[in-house]
Structure formats: structure tokens, C-alpha cells
Amino acid sequence: MVAAVGPTVHVLRDPEELAERVGSRIGELAHAAFRRELPFRLALSGGSSPIPLFRWFGGAGSSSIPWEAVHLYWCDERCVPPEHPASNYGSAFRTFLAGVPIPGENVHRLLGEVVPPRDAADAYEELLRTAAPAGRGSSPAADLDLALLGIGPDGHTASLFPGRPSLGSERWVEVEMEPPLEPKVPRLTLTLRALAASERVFFLATGAEKRAIVRRILLPGPEPPLPAAQVRARSELAVYLDTAAAEGLPAASSLPVGASGP
């Protein structure tokens, strides 16, 4: 993970404290955009890591976040209909979206039900291009304000898997037809290029089972960098861990330049 300022590591006691910290930070960022009459473009991910944050959105965040300023996007989606249990949009909908006062037109889901998936990827890329704020027309990619990402056990992030062609894609949105992990349905995913145009990227990883892969991402060895280690951001790249995921990480001074350790 590389940004001009280097990755910052935040360690919170448990997933709930982590959710509250990240949720409050998102609230501050959204309020700052709202005060300037700008949209706050937030891209969500799937998986279990963001669920406590989604619950926080539906609880304390329901009234503290200026939802009318928030535009939701997705970093990736499984190619299933939105009501399918594996749908990332469906997970967000069931956990908080149905209960927060966000205008329907601010919710920009990746259409997992479209066949062929390439059409959905191209349409999303077009949506992201046209949503780019005035003055950033020449920007190389999507101009998200914040992308929330998880880290898979193999170091994948969004649906960018190690060694797969989509990793090197010049597009903004790619199709992964054969994900190596469950659910083994085709996926739609923002590319490294699109993510790199995000103002901020926050990784969320919790639980002891994330310990080894987090260590590999934050303390890369001689082997080629894993997808999560290749993510960049314009101004802030942060890794939010709970104590279980962070256990065994060296002190701040031994982490890569710019990081602040547990």
C-alpha cells in the first residue's frame, strides 16, 4: 500500500470500536463535503469486515451522517441479483441502507445481475467518469472521496486477486470471471487504477485470522506485492485493525515509512 504520505496503521480494541472510529471519521469527512456543498463519494466493499461499520451507519450514523451529501458506490460486486445472499449491495441494504435517510438517487450499485458482466462494468465506468467533479475532467480515474476495502486471506482486495489479469488493467472497472475463492461467481471490481484516484483509502481487517496476511501486506518481503499491497490513494491510505489482527506487528518505527504502529 503506497500513498504520498505512506500508510497509517490504526489499532482499535475490537471490531465495534473500530466501526465507531471509522464511522465517526466518515461522518466528519461527509460533513466537510456537505459544508462546501459537495457530494461525498464513498465506495463500499463486501465481506464480513465492514458489517460492524454498516451496523454503526444504521445506528449512531443514521442521524450523525449527512446522508443527503453521501453518494454510495461499490468497490466490487458478485454477479448475482441484488436480493441474493451473496450480493454486496444486498448485504449493505439489509444491514443499514434500508434504514438510513439516503436519497435513492445517491445509491449507485454495481449491477451484478447484468449479463454479460462486461456490460455492467462498462456502464459503471461510464457512471464514474460522468460523476467526476467539474475541474477534474482530465483525472485518470474515478475520483472517489473514500474507498473502504477489505483484505482477503490470499491478499486480494475488492475482487482483485493475486496473479489475475485484472490487476494490470488500464480500465476503471473489470470483470473477474474465475475468482479463486468462494463465492466462485464472476465478480465486478474497481481496478487499482480507479482506486488510485480515490482521495482516501481505508482498509478494514479484524480477527486473528487476518494476522498473517496483514503482516505480509504491511511488511512485504522479496516476493511480488499482493493486490492489497499495490493499492494507492491520493492523500490518505490507512489500515484499521483490531488488536487481534494487529498482534505481533512491530512497533511503529519498524513499519514502512509513514506508518504508525500499534
- At 135, list the grid cell: 475541474
Footprint on residues 17-76 left by ligand 6PG (CB under 6 A):
45-49, 75-76
256 contacts 218 by C-beta, under 8 angstroms: yes
Q: Using CA of residue 227, residue 74, residue 208, residue 13, what is the dihedral sign?
A: positive
Among 15, 27, 117, 150, binds ligand 6PG (CB under 6 A): 150
Determine which helix (DSSP H) or strand (DSSP E) holds 117, and give its type and residue range: helix 117-131
The residues with which 160 forms a beta bridge, in sequence order, are 157
Near ligand 6PG by CB under 6 A, which window of 28-36, 137-145, 151-159, 254-262? Answer: 151-159
66 contacts 106 by C-beta, under 8 angstroms: no
Among 26, 72, 80, 88, binds ligand 6PG (CB under 6 A): 88
Near ligand 6PG by CB under 6 A, which window of 99-107, 112-120, 144-152, 214-222? Answer: 144-152
- Of 157, 141, 137, give the one whose Cα is nearest residue 149: 157
Strands 146-149, 200-205: pairing is parallel
As measured in angstroms, the least distance from the Cβ of 152 to ligand 6PG is 3
Q: How far apart are CA 2 and CA 232, in angstroms?
A: 5
State yes or no: residue 169 binds ligand 6PG (CB under 6 A): no
State yes or no: residue 241 binds ligand 6PG (CB under 6 A): no
Near ligand 6PG by CB under 6 A, which window of 17-25, 92-100, 107-115, 146-154? Answer: 146-154
Strands 173-176, 187-190: pairing is antiparallel
Site size toward ligand 6PG (CB under 6 A) is 14
252 contacts 7 by C-beta, under 8 angstroms: no
State yes or no: residue 235 binds ligand 6PG (CB under 6 A): no
State yes or no: residue 152 binds ligand 6PG (CB under 6 A): yes
As measured in angstroms, the least distance from the Cβ of 46 to ligand 6PG is 3
Binding interface with ligand 6PG (CB under 6 A): 45-49, 75-76, 88, 150-152, 156-158
